[in-house]
Every structure is written in C-alpha cells, then in structure tokens.
Structure 1
Amino acid sequence: MEGPILMHPPHGIQVDAPGRAGGCGGGRIWLVAGTGEGPPLARELLARGWGLKVSLVSRAAALAYGAHPRLELAVGAIGGSDGPAAGVAAELADAGQRGAPYAWVIDATHPFATRISAALADGCAARSQPLLRLLRPDLNAPGAQPLDDLAGLGRLCRPGERLLLAIGARRLAEAVAASPGVLHHARLLPQGDALATALAAGLPPQRLAPLRPGGDGRIERALCRQWQIDTVLCRRSGGANEERWHRICAALGVRLLLLERPGEPGRVEALPLEQLLQRLDESGRDG
C-alpha cells in the first residue's frame, strides 16, 4: 500500500514555541479534514497544547495549514488503493505500535464524504479509539427548497429550465439522468477526473465551469448571469459554500434547491465546534 506524503514544518518559517501553548491538551490527535473547518480547528487545537497529525487529500489543501512544531501533515487518500477502511486500521495500529497512540480522532470531513466517515467510525470502534465528529451547523436560510434525494430532481424542474449543478462531480450523471429535458450546467473543481466525469454524464464543454469555490462569489454570480440560470442545486453542507449560494441566489432572484445531507453515523459522538472543543478540554483535565 502506498503511504501518504508526510509534510513537516519547512525551515525558515516562524512558528509558535511549544511552551506558549495554552489549554488542556498535551496528547496527540489525528484530524481528518479539508480546507473548510480544518485549518481554524487545527490552529485552535495547537493553541490548546495538542499535537496533531492532519490527513488531507491534496497538496493544495495542505497549504492552508501553515507550519508548527507539533503539526504533521499527511497528504493523500487514506489507504490509497486499498481503501479507507484498511487505511484507518493501519494508521491506528501503527500509532499504537510506535507507542504514540491518539488520544482522539476527529472527523472534520465534508458531510457528504460518507465513505471516509464510515471507515473512521468502524475503525475506531474496532479498536475502542475515542472519536469525535465535527457537526456542521444547519444554516436554516429562508427561501431554499429542500431535495431529499436526487431521484426527485425531475419533479422540481420543468423542460428547458437552466439548472446549475453545484454538487461536485461524483453524482453529476445521477442528477442529469433524474432531470431529462433540463439544460444542465455545472460548476466543478478544475481536475481532470472531474471534467471527465462531467463530459461522460453528457454535459457539453460550454456548460462547464472548472473553478475552485471560495472568495465572495462574484465568479459564480457572473456565471449565473451569463448562462441565464433559473435554478441552482447545491448540497446542504452547512459550510461556506452553501452560505455563498444562499447569498448569490437571493441577490439574483434565482431559485435554490438544497440536496439534504446524509445522516451522521449513529454510533459517533457528533458535536458543534464549541462543544467539541469543550469535550476535548474536559478529557485533557481528566487525563
């Protein structure tokens, strides 16, 4: 199995001294995250005295974390070709064998990243490894229309409607098949496999926008105007991307459909940010 790429603090970068950290930490945490809540959560945990290993999918995501003497970044899919279940088991076993087990594992992945969340839940349960799940908030913004499942998309769209799909590449084919007669457009990441998936789903190149989400949404607003979008479909992720689409659609008078997020693993303690930090502080004091 090919292991992840480990990235340590580069020479020449000023970092906080370990002795200046406050809080009740001192143990090690394995944080599985991305570029949304991950970087600020990592900074907060480091400030509270925890040592961190952060697993990330891409080198681009790693750039958001900076450097710190108690921070280790591992870049690459957990488990590689063997799959996340094998990767989680191997990581936990290796930490134990090195005499440096994790006090906690924190799952701060995207709410729709169900495969890795399930692997973390199963792997931690098998080893009695304490696990916390960062629970994103429900934005509860008015005006958006919920969609329980992509299979029902066609019932909410009329023939000829201009629909912008902002749900990532993996389920584009499913969304297109569920809404025949609709003029589909897509905003997706600028990656080769994402573009190949979109083209295979039947979306023409002139209706694809490969770009990374972020900023104030001006590019997305321009796309909606240029394509004369009637409806946007995004995921109810509870993050900055969803919040951005609420603002854009409200400003342009465009209908917003929200694909409901999957349920959290039932056996995992899922907490909002402040409660999660409090739980860690309590465990540090108890330890």
Structure 2
Amino acid sequence: MRVLLLGGTAEARALAARLYPDVDVISSLAGRVPDPALPAGPVRIGGFGGEAGLRHWLTVHDIDCVVDATHPFAATITAHAAAACAELGMPYVVLSRPAWTTENVITAASNAEAAKIVARHHYSRIFLTTGRSGVSAFADSDALFVIRVVTPPEPETLPRRHRLVLSRGPYRYEDEYALMREFRVEAMITKNSGGAMTQPKLDAAAALGVAVVMIERPSLPAGVQTVSTVDAAVDWLTAIPGVPVIPVR
C-alpha cells in the first residue's frame, strides 16, 4: 500500500510522522516556499502538471490512495486531486483543519472584496496576513499596510505605503499583540485558515479592538470525504485493506 500525502501544513507533517516508516508514504510539497519544513519520510517538491499530470503520476508511481492535507486555500490542487482520484477510482480524503468562527468579524469572499471593505470603512493602518499572492488586490489603496509574508511579494504588487515583515509561524500572542500596538493597527485582513498556529493574531486583535476582515474558504469539490484531525486521517487509512497497523506515537 503506497500513500501520496499532499502536504505543506503542520497537519501533513504530523500525519507523515505518524505513518513513516510503517506505511509507504510519499509527501508532496508545492515548492512555493524556500527552505520548507520537511516531513518525515520521502518527499517530492513541485507541481504535477494539472489534473492529467497528477493522474499520470499516481499511475506511474503505483499510488493506492491519496490524503490531501494541503492548505485550506489550496483550491487548485484539491480540485485536481479530487478529479484525478475519482477518475482512477482511488480512495481520497481531505484532511481539513476546522475553520475559525466568524463571530465578531467581517467576512469577505475574496481579496478583492476585502479591499473594498477596508476602503469603505476608511481603515488607514492595516495588518495584512493573506500571503504574498493576495497582496496585489490592495495595490491601489492609500492605507499603510503591514504585510507579513514568508517571502517578499513582487514589488509591482505592493501598496504604495507598506512595511514588510518577513517571518514564518507559529506566532505567540505576546508578539502579535506587540506588533499590532507598534504599528497602531486598525484592521487586520486574514484568511480563514483555522488552526492553532496562527490563532494568537485573532486573540491579540480582539484584545486591542482591532477589526478583523476574514476571507472565507473556497468550497471543496462536491462529494469529497473530509476528516478534521490527524487521528481521523489515520483511522481512515487503517480502514483501507492493505494498510498496516499504525502504531500510536
């Protein structure tokens, strides 16, 4: 039994650590982040070449099932994986961490809608934590953006007034609180990624009275089976004939 684990998240790394070396698991990373945190076991880095490329890769490498533990906003690879596995009749599950509650936040369907919201509310100092790909939606704003990313965005996508903070989580509440106070942040724009790793920024925003604009998750492909924890993913795998007993670690 050979498992492809579509990864790049903390949950994917935790699952790989649970599986390896008892299960023949290959973790796949997109390769967009330099010097990524690597999971246990074999790793491949890079794209597959669309749905057809992924379907071919699964066949050539004798993959028996796929666990999709990519970021909740990695909609393209999830759509490709769901379609490829359906075509091949291959077991497929999405490990999706629970979303954050949207109580006391302003929700937006996209980066573009979030940009309209902050303009409508006339926020002048904004903490932007949507990742480098979402920065361009705010390029025409006159507000000051504190932009936290792992790697710098392309210069032409940046707002006129900005400060770059290059860092990688997890983040502590005390540091998030201090950052928002230092820059006198009025509003924070974030994706509804869920999970404990970046929860402190929401707690700090609530303590400081900072408005939160939260971009909603893309919908999963219809009919896809999901689990919300690493333990549940292990249970899903062990129910497949041929998967060995996975010890508790």
Q: What interval of TM-score do these two structures reach, taking the shorter chain for normalisation? A: 0.7 to 0.9
Residue 226 (structure 1) shift: 2.1
Any idea what the Cα deviations from partners look like across 1:175-221, whole Å, max 9, x if unmatched?
445xx4433331111x2xx432xx21242575121221223154443
- Between 1 and 2, higher relative CO (CA 8 Å, sep ≥ 6) is seen in 2
Aligned partner of residue 159 in structure 2, secondary structure: coil
User: Which residue in the other structure is 1:271 paired with?
Assistant: 227
| SS at structure 1 position matched to 2:18 | helix
Match of 1:61 among 28, 33, 36: 36
Does residue 103 (structure 1) correspond to residue 103 (structure 2)? The answer is: no
RMSD: 2.6
Counterpart secondary structure, 1:207: strand
Tell me if the contact between 1:77 and 1:84 (Cα under 8 Å) persists in the aligned partners: no
Q: TM-score, normalised by structure 2?
A: 0.83
Contact kept? 2:145, 2:159, Cα under 8 Å: yes
Identity %: 26
Deviation at residue 279 of structure 1 after TM alignment: 2.1
Cα pair distance change 1:205/1:231, threshold 3 Å: closer
Please give the alpha-carbon distance, in whole angstroms, between the structure 2 residues aligned to 1:139 and 1:45: 27
Find out whether 1:72 has 2:42 as its counterpart: yes
Q: State the match for 2:128 in structure 1.
A: 165
Shift of 1:258: 1.0
* Partner residue, 1:52: 25
> Is the counterpart of residue 281 in structure 1 residue 243 in structure 2?
no
Query: Which one of 66, 69, 86 corresponds to residue 125 of structure 1?
Result: 86
User: Which residue of 1 is the match for residue 247 of structure 2?
Assistant: none
Report the 3-state secondary structure (helix = DSSP H, G, I; strand = E; otherwise coil) of the residue aligned with 1:195: coil
User: 2-side partners of 1:278 and 1:53: how far apart?
Assistant: 18
CA distance in 2 between partners of 1:206 and 1:29 (Å): 43
Whole-angstrom CA distance in 2 between matches of 1:93 and 1:285: 18
Cα deviation, residue 86, structure 1: 4.5
For the residue of structure 2 that corresponds to 1:171, the secondary structure is helix
1:30-45 correspondence to structure 2 within 5 Å: 30-45=4-19
Shift of 1:147: 1.9
Corresponding position of 1:149: 110
Q: 1:234 pairs with 182, 190, 193, which one?
A: 190
Q: Structure 1 residues 72, 202: CA separation in 2 closer, same or farther (over 3 Å shift)?
A: closer
Kindly indicate whether residue 153 of structure 2 is the aligned counterpart of residue 195 of structure 1: yes
Structure 1, unmatched stretches of 5+, are 1-26, 96-100
Residues 147, 259 of structure 1: 8 Å contact kept: yes
Q: Deviations along 1:42-88, whole A, 9 cap, x unmatched?
A: 122237x321101123463343x24xxxx3111x2223xxx343441
Distance apart, 1:40 and its partner CA: 0.9
**Native 8 Å contact 1:169 1:188 kept in 2:** yes
Q: Is the alpha carbon distance of 1:248 and 1:143 closer, same or farther for their aligned partners in structure 2, counting shifts above 3 Å? A: same
Larger radius of gyration: 1
Q: What's 1:4 paired with?
A: none
Query: Hey, which of these two has a bigger chunk of helix by percent?
Result: 1
Letter in 1 for 2:12: G
| Matched AA of 2:71 | H
